[in-house]
Amino acid sequence: MYEEFFGLTERPFSIAPDPQYLYMSKSHKEAMAHLSYGLTQGGGFIVLTGEVGTGKTTLCRTLLQDLPESTDVALILNATLDESELLQTLCDELKVSYQEGESHKRLTDLINERLLASFAKNRQTVLIIDEAQLLSRDVLEQIRLLTNLETTKTKLLKIILIGQPELNEVLRRKDLRQLAQRVTARYHLGALKDNDVEAYLNRRLSVAGSKQPVFTRQAIDQLRKATEGIPRRINVLADHSMLAAYAKSSRWVDAAMVRAAASEVLLPNSEDNVTILGRVFSRAKMRWWVFVGLVLLFNGLVWWALMVSAPQREAVMTAGLTQSETPHSADNNSEPQGFEPEYAVETANADDDLGDGTEALDESLEGSDDVSVIPESNAVTFNTTESGVAIVGDQTSDSPSDSISSQLSAPVTGKVMSSSVYLDDSPDIPDVALLQDVPKEVSIQSSELLASGDQSNQDKPDAPQQLMDILATSANMTTRSRAFQRLAGLWSVSFEEPTLDPYCRLLNDSGLACLDVSNWSELVVFNRPSIVVLSADETLHRAIVQSVVGQNVNLLIGEREILVDRATFESVWTGSAVALWRYNGFDDSVWGLGASGAKVLQAKQRLELTLQRLGLPTLEQPNSDRFDTDTAQKLVALQSRYGLTADGELGTQTKLLINEVLSNGVTPTLVNRFSSI
């Protein structure tokens, strides 16, 4: 139903055991290793257990796909069989002909002949029984007898038992100890760990054709708690949550949608409930009411003990009734001490120069009996600079030591993406499992970045609440499509809305590439206007970081510009952002020592021109198409000076810097660092 809306080829969260959707967590990899080990041994039983919905059957089907072609597999899904039905089903799976009513011995002999014939052809036979905890004691004993079919060196039949944890209890029975001793590999498959749930969701979405995550981080946390990491429960809840998002025409699934879906499709854990007189009650609530009842009972007993032990209980009770009427009459006509019936409004003396405009306020309130200040509803007041930019926030220091340059002195780990690998048409991807992290250690030299803003003449932001007010009234103006349109407009690129193509792919046709940004240091090192994802009241908003002035961030939210301090910005920023950059003769390749070709020559020529404009030592052989040692050394010098990873390779960050120098004044940047060249 929602596949087309989310750009999917099929439903990603079906509960069918499709091997292509299997997410190999650490426990799943270990389980697969145990199964593979058991099949390579001489024979015996392999036991795989796990709670309902942990992926045992899906893992088994994946194992079947990986088995060599010389393997014959008999798969039994219905474990509620008797001995005769078991042998007949095995014959059917192995394509062994038999007559109705054949004895157990005859069926076993036919199976043995089939196994020997396969062994002679260097083929192995595997019997897999799902839901094995349902097997009766007699059937399990018959299965054990099948493992007696063997040669002098190997078992002719290898058996995999898959079941719930109760299977282990069955195998511990004393009368089945012979079978338990033949288990050569055993593994219990648990639920997904907390850090696996997000990767699990993104894996299934990716297989179904999604180019972006769908669940917010809060939704993933809520989903993890509700499902306890059980894959099948995750599938059911995720499917209904996406249906809820589709019904609301939302491209994102938030925590509220997950909670609503959980209340509909997930039954409460029976261990957390108790049934009384046919009604189900929560154990947690029951414990609370029992506690309240015990407290009341204890207080009642204490009170009764005190009353009983009082020798003059009746007298005290009588006196209490008598005195209860006295206080009202005694002081009925008197006022409490310190009570002043009259009111006065004091105003400031004319000689008191408060300097804050309170004189006029006091004069306007003089003589008023009821003074209150009522804010104007649905109104937002902004302080504006001469350029008409609204400012909010709190600026604690205007010294150069608080500028961007001093903020970039620490190493940073970043993710550099180009449009060819950026899978999402949305910038708001928190820690996307579909993308690969590329470590980027950055050490910024502050001497070259002091030009990152005019520290002496920057506007002072006001209260951060004004930012929240703007976000609260701009939900319809902070959509993904509008944000990409405005960001592309800074590069003089436009596209019509709506578009069915992913935005990054659409912009790539115009020579622009998307660049993932995940923290403040990357934001200012990349030095490109970026779409940032802001969170307010569990709602995501897309805004544009247009420029950075010292420790202040100039944001475009819908149609409004607002200047906020860094602390205010980071308090609402989710850490997810995307910038744009233009190749300008480059591509997404990374060239290093030993590379050669026409593209390397073109890159070296652009590097040479950059070094010349910056007044740095130039290349010895700028017209050579080889990436030699001299080129690497000059790159290291350039990268070290401007805070990039000093690896001597020509990667994305270095290309950004080169384009910024060669297209100074044309390339949109957060800070114009090269205005003097």
Query: Hey, which residues does 650 pair with through a beta bridge?
Result: 591
Render pLDDT for 75-105 as a digit per residue (tens, 0 to 9). 998 888 898 999 999 999 999 998 888 898 8
**CA pair distance 125, 102, nearest whole angstrom:** 22
In terms of domains, do 169 and 216 share one?
Answer: no
Model confidence at 531: pLDDT above 90: yes
pLDDT score of 112 more than 60? yes
Q: Is the pLDDT of residue 324 over 70?
A: no
Q: Domain check: are 629 and 566 in the same one? A: no
Give residue 488's pLDDT: 87
Residue 276 lies in a domain: no
Distances (CA, A) of 34 to 7, 31, 37, 183, 513: 38, 5, 5, 12, 45
> Which one, of 667, 435, 417, 653, lies nearest residue 526 by Cα?
653
Based on the domain organization, do 219 and 152 belong to the same domain? no
**Cα 14 to Cα 234: distance, rounded to the nearest angstrom:** 10
How many Å apart are CA 504 and CA 494, to the nearest integer? 13
> Would you say residue 358 lies in a domain?
no
Which secondary-structure segment (H or E) carries 45? strand 44-50
The pair of three-digit structure tokens given for residue 174, joined into one six-digit string: 């004393």
Residue 414 has pLDDT above 80, yes or no: no
Residue range of the domain that includes 263: 199-270
Q: What are residue 251's phi and psi, to 5 degrees?
A: -80, -10
DSSP state of 215: B
Same domain, 592 and 559: no
From 582, 617, 648, the end of a domain falls on: 582
Using the Cα atoms of residue 622, residue 627, residue 631 and residue 636 in order, give the sign of their dihedral: positive
The predicted-structure confidence for 599-638, as pLDDT tens digits, reads as follows 889 889 999 999 998 888 999 888 999 988 888 888 888 8
Q: What pLDDT does residue 100 have?
A: 86
Which residue would you say has higher pLDDT here, 436 or 81? 81
The pLDDT score that the predictor gives to residue 276 is 53
Residue 356 lies in a domain: no
- The model's pLDDT over 538-581, given as tens digits with 9 standing for 90+, comes to 788 889 999 998 888 999 988 888 898 888 888 889 888 999 88
Which of residues 270, 290, 317 is at a domain's end?
Answer: 270
How confident is the model over 32-55, as a mean pLDDT?
82
Give the mean model confidence (pLDDT) for residues 176-194. 87
Q: Is residue 529 over pLDDT 90?
A: yes
How much is the CA Rg of the chain, to the nearest whole Å? Answer: 37
Which residue, 136, 159, 189, sits at the end of a domain? 189
Same domain, 572 and 593: no
Query: Which CATH number do you get for residue 54?
Result: 3.40.50.300
Question: In this structure, is residue 290 part of a structural domain?
Answer: no
Task: Give the N- to C-terminal CA distance of the chain in Å, as an integer.
Answer: 57
Contacts of 519 (CB under 8 A, 6+ apart): 412, 414, 575
CATH of the domain at 675: 1.10.101.10
Looking at every residue in the chain, the average pLDDT score rounds to 74
* Count of domains forming the chain: 4
Residue 321 belongs to a domain: no
Do the beta carbons of residue 262 and residue 219 sit within 8 Å?
no
The CA distance from 58 to 56, in Å, is 6
* pLDDT single digits (tens) 227-254: 989 999 999 999 999 999 888 888 889 9
Same domain membership, residue 230 and residue 118:
no
Cα–Cα distance, 4 to 237 (Å, whole number): 19
Does 423 have pLDDT greater than 80? no
What is the distance of C-alpha 31 from the center of its chain?
A: 26
In the chain, the amino acid numbered 186 is: R
How far is residue 574's CA from residue 426's CA, in Å, rounded to a whole number? 14
Q: 217-226, 339-348, 541-550 — which is least confidently predicted?
A: 339-348
- Supply φ then ψ for residue 164, to 5 degrees: -80, 170
Give the pairing of strands 44-50 and 183-189.
Answer: parallel
Same domain? 33 vs 182: yes
| Predicted TM-score of the model (pTM) | 0.43
Same domain, 559 and 495: yes
**Neighbour tally for 99: CB within 10 Å:** 8
pLDDT in tens, 147-161: 888 877 788 888 999
Number of residues assigned to the chain:
677
- Highest mean pLDDT range out of 91-95, 354-358, 503-507? 91-95
The CATH number linked to 577 is 3.90.70.10
**438 in the same domain as 387:** yes
For residue 350, tell me if it sits in a domain: no
498 with 539, same domain: the answer is yes
Q: Are residues 570 and 608 in the same domain?
A: no
SS (H, E, C) 441-499: CCCCCHHHCHHHCCHHHCCCCCCCHHHHHHHHCCHHHCCHHHHHHHHHHHCCCCCCCCC
**Domain membership flag for residue 243:** yes
Same domain, 175 and 226: no
In a domain, 357, yes or no: no
